[in-house]
Amino acid sequence: MTRKIRAAAAIALIGATALTAAGCSANSDASSDGGKVTMTFWHNSTTGPGKAFWEKTVKDFEAENPNVTIKIQAIQNEDLDGKLQTALNSGSAPDVFLQRGGGKMAAMVNAGQLLDISDSIGSTAKSQISDGSFAGYEQDGKTWAMPVDVNPEGIWYSKDLFEKAGIDGTPTTIDELNADIQKLKDADIQPVAVGAKDAWPAAHWYYNFALRACPSSVLTKTAQDLKFTNACWKQAGEDTKAFFDTEPFNDGYLTTAAQQGAGSSAGLVANHKAAMELMGAWDPGVISSLTPDGKPLSDLGFFPFPEVSGGKGETGSMMGAVDGFSCSAKAPKKACTDFLNYMTEKPVQEAYYKAFNAIPANKSAQTVVTEPYLKSVLEAYNKAPFVSNYLDTVYGQNVGNALNTSVVNLLAGKGSVSDIVSTVNQAAAKG
C-alpha cells in the first residue's frame, strides 16, 4: 500500500475573508440518487446533548429532504475506529461516518473506501470553512471529508482548585507546571487526571513533548516516510519519562477511563477530584455532561501545553485536529454530500457548538463562542506557528496503536524510552 499522506501540518482557523450570513441548503433532494434513499450514519456521541443534537439534525434534514431516511448508530468513541475498520473491510460500511483524517484516512482512500466530495462542496462550506481546515482532509488533490469543528489541544484546569493550592496564573514552561503540580500535592489535591486505560490520553503527553522536541519539518517528513530516526523522538521520550517520574497523575490512572462516567479522567475534573487534564477542545462538553448538575463547569480554564527548555519545536505550536465526516464509496452521492453540506450551515453549526461546547468550523458560527476558556483556545490556536494532527491519526492505525501502547507501557514501568522508538519503527516497517 502506498502512503500518500497530506498531514494537517498548519491549520489556519480564522481567515481574513468577509463573513456572510448563510441559510440552510436549498437544493437538497435525492432525485439524482434515484428517488427514495436510506442511509446509515455513525457518530460517537452516545449520551446527552451531543446525541440529542444528531437526532434533531437528522430529523430536520429529513424534513427538508423527504426522499431521504437516515438511520443513526451512536458508537462509543473508543470503539468506533475498530468497528468502522471492520465494516469498511467487509464491504458493510455506513454511508456517513466520523472521519479523523491523517494516516487513517489515507489508508481508506488508498483502499478505495471513500467518496470523493471535491465537486460537491456547497457554497456555505466553501466560503465559511478555512482552507486550512479542509487541508487535513485532502489527498491526491481531492477532498474526502467535510470539517465540522476544530479541536486544538491543551490543558484544562479547575480555577478553584488552583486557587485552593495557592497557584497564581497558569504555567508557561514545564518547570512551572511541575512546580504547580507540587503545590497541588501539598494541598492534598490530585494534580492531573489521565485516562490511561484507553491508552491514547496518556500517549498525548508524549505527542506534546514530541511537538516541543521536534521541528515541524521532522513531524511532517515522518508523516510521509514513517521513519522515526531523528534524535528528537528519543528526546521526547526522555522528557515524557521525566514528567511521568514526578508522579503527577490521579490514583489508579492505569485503570481510569478517559470520558465515560464520573470516575473517568474528564469526570474527575468535572467533580473537582483532580485539577487538570490534557485533552482536545471537545473536553468542555464531556466535562459538562459529567458534572453533578449536568451543566458546564463554572471554574473551567485552559492553558496551552507548556514550553520545554532546549526543544527544537516552534514556540507556541499546538496539537490539534479537525473533526469531520466522510461518505463511504458506496454511499448515494447526492444525498450523502447534501447531508455533509447541511452540517456546515450556520444554524446547524451554532447548535453544534451549544451541544458539544466545541469550536465550530464555520467561521460565521464562531461568533456564538462566549466561554472564556474557548476564547483562550482560539487565541492560542490563531497564534500557533504550526499545528500537528494527533500523532496516532497522522501516522496511521498500526503505528498509532504501537505508539499509544508503548507510551502506556512506559507509564506502567513495563517499557523504556528506547522501546517507544523501536516499537513504532517496527510497526511502520510492517506497513
pLDDT digits (tens, 9 = 90+) for 269-308: 999 999 999 999 999 989 999 999 999 999 999 999 999 9
Indicate whether 260 pLDDT > 80.
Answer: yes
What pLDDT is attached to residue 220?
Answer: 85
Burial class, 60, CB count within 10 angstroms (exposed 0-12 / middle 13-18 / buried 19+): middle
Residue-wise pLDDT for 327-361, tens only, equals: 999 999 999 999 999 999 999 999 999 998 888 99
Residue 21 φ then ψ, to 5°: -70, 145
Indicate whether 28 pLDDT > 80.
Answer: no
What pLDDT is attached to residue 104?
Answer: 86
Question: In this structure, what C-alpha cell is assigned to residue 169?
Answer: 496564573
Secondary structure (DSSP) of 228-243:
--SHHHHHHHHHHHHH
Do the Cβ atoms of 361 and 124 come closer than 8 Å? no
Q: Which helix (H) or strand (E) holds 89?
A: helix 77-89
Do the Cβ atoms of 57 and 24 come closer than 8 Å? no
What is the mean pLDDT of the segment spanning 196-208? 96
CB neighbour list of residue 181: distance below 8 Å, 6 or more residues apart: 191, 192, 246, 248
Question: In this structure, what C-alpha cell is assigned to residue 411?
Answer: 507509564
Do the Cβ atoms of 373 and 301 come closer than 8 Å? yes
Question: In this structure, what C-alpha cell is assigned to residue 253?
Answer: 490512572
Indicate whether 208 pLDDT > 80.
Answer: yes
CB neighbour list of residue 158: distance below 8 Å, 6 or more residues apart: 269, 272, 275, 276, 297, 299, 300, 301
Point out which residues pair with 173 in neighbouring strands: 307
Name which of 291, 311, 184 is nearest 238 in CA terms: 311
Burial class, 298, CB count within 10 angstroms (exposed 0-12 / middle 13-18 / buried 19+): exposed
Q: What confidence category does residue 102 fall into, taking pLDDT thresholds of 50, 70 and 90?
A: confident
Question: In this structure, what C-alpha cell is assigned to residue 75?
Answer: 458508537
**Which three-class secondary structure state does DSSP give residue 318?**
strand
